[in-house]
Structure 1
Amino acid sequence: MTEPGGTTAAVRLIRSGDDIPVDTPRVPAREAARDELSDPMYHEHDPNLLERGLDRFWDWIGGLLADAAGAAPGGPLGLVVLALAVVGLGAALWWRLGTPQRTVHSPEALLGGTARSTADHRATAAAHAEARRWTEAVQERMRALVRSLEDRAVLDPRPGRTADEAAAEAGRLMPAHADRLRAAARVFDDVTYGGRTADEAAYLTLCTLDLDLEAAKTVLTTGTTQGAAG
């Protein structure tokens, strides 16, 4: 305080019986408080590092959701509707495209090790089609097609042949049907190794190709014979 006459006095008036106040400068007081609060007994119930990290993470998520709700038309309700729409779209794509295959399968032999006739494969394909098991129907009809080409000596019998190999070899000998053969092999690979689901249209397309190749037998034989004679 400043006494009259401009003299600064650091004197406190103390009445008899009063407690003596303690005057501590600000900086030493702050350091003393910090030292006191650093005692572990004051921090027994503080959250650990993981809990603090989780608190920060959820605060960050909450901030993102709040910002998104503010930006979405309709506020929080609009955000919920948008999230449901995204989930519905994902479910629709999952249902349409099938379960993604994490493992890439290498093409296996088309006909396997069991010798079955063309008629057997066609009959099995027809039974699957009648039960609307289109994936199995497509697989069996493709096997019937290739077995038919082997029976007619268009292809040499070879147990380890894949659908792609059969389509390429037959396409060189029957160029008018090369594109359709490649497409049929691709459908077979998609449903057999790619996790796709066939439909009725794919099965009917394969049946038509099988019958067209059967009808092309005379043309193929004539062309081959003429080429050999020349």
Structure 2
Amino acid sequence: MVPVLTYPALLAAPIDIGREQARREAAAELLRSEYAKESLVDRVMRAVNQFLGDLLDQESVGVVGSVAARIVLAMIVVAAVVAVVMIAHRTVRGGTTRKEGIFGDRRRTAAEHRETAERLAAEGRWAEAVRERLRALARDLEDRVIVDSTPGRTADELAAEAGRALPEFAAELAAAARVFDDVTYGEVPGTAEAYGVLRDLDERLRTARPTLGAMTGTVSS
């Protein structure tokens, strides 16, 4: 007769879960919705704690092995903390970076911006020279009523509006806006070549005239 395993017997029976099965169950637990709300720092630290627990949970580790393990653990913890701090710093910077208007607080004429740009270029301060040259270009377009005088306008917005009025320059204006954003927000170093492109575009735009169709389309939009 086959013995029947009663409910009390089930309670008394030991539960033997292998390490691999435990890992799978832990992974399934992490898929629950409450874990989705964890921050990056929390997830990294929890993973480090799990790794440390697995490393220390070795019955065969002797005294020498235990000391070596603790040294390795300390190095891992330090590396993890440094990595978390760096990632958090980049995340904060990336989340708070916001494009500002292309002009400063004080209103300057196009001629003043050009003069400042040339002086900065002569000093090899290319990023600042690029910014001033685009400001000169923008102010000139405003003074000639090719674009509206809009406070806080970004380089991209300037390029889009001016490109509609001067479609033959649209691609160059968009490229100039990217150069301005790169040296202003992207930490890309300015170069003499980049400044030369902005200066050439500024000079050609000074004599450019919008076509009637482009101006009509701008007004209607």
TM-score normalised to structure 1 length: 0.54
CA gap 1:56/1:161 in 2 versus in 1, 3 angstroms = closer
Aligned-CA RMSD value: 3.0
Aligned with 1:215: secondary structure?
coil
Alignment partners' CA distance in 2, 1:142 and 1:183: 11
Which of 126, 131, 135 is equivalent to 2:127? Answer: 135
Following TM superposition, by how much is the alpha carbon of 1:106 offset from its aligned partner in structure 2, in angstroms? 1.1
Kindly tell me the number of residue pairs found equivalent between the two proteins. Answer: 140
1:34-45, aligned counterparts within 5 Å?
Answer: none
Unaligned runs of 5+ in 2: 1-61, 75-89
Alignment partners' CA distance in 1, 2:161 and 2:131: 19
Provide the identity percentage.
45
Alpha-carbon contact 1:101-1:194 (below 8 Å) kept = no
Alignment partners' CA distance in 1, 2:213 and 2:73: 74
Following TM superposition, by how much is the alpha carbon of 1:112 offset from its aligned partner in structure 2, in angstroms? 2.9
1:1-230, aligned counterparts within 5 Å?
Answer: 47=63, 51-54=67-70, 103-104=93-94, 105-217=97-209, 220=210
Alignment partners' CA distance in 2, 1:188 and 1:171: 16
Alpha-carbon contact 1:112-1:160 (below 8 Å) kept = no
Following TM superposition, by how much is the alpha carbon of 1:101 offset from its aligned partner in structure 2, in angstroms? 9.8
Q: Which has the higher helix share?
A: 2
Structure whose alpha-carbon radius of gyration is higher: 1
Following TM superposition, by how much is the alpha carbon of 1:54 offset from its aligned partner in structure 2, in angstroms? 3.8
Unaligned runs of 5+ in 1: 1-45, 59-99
User: In structure 2, what is the equivalent of residue 9 of structure 1?
Assistant: none
Following TM superposition, by how much is the alpha carbon of 1:103 offset from its aligned partner in structure 2, in angstroms? 1.5
Alignment partners' CA distance in 1, 2:215 and 2:161: 18
CA gap 1:134/1:177 in 2 versus in 1, 3 angstroms = same
Alignment partners' CA distance in 1, 2:104 and 2:163: 21
TM-score normalised to structure 2 length: 0.56
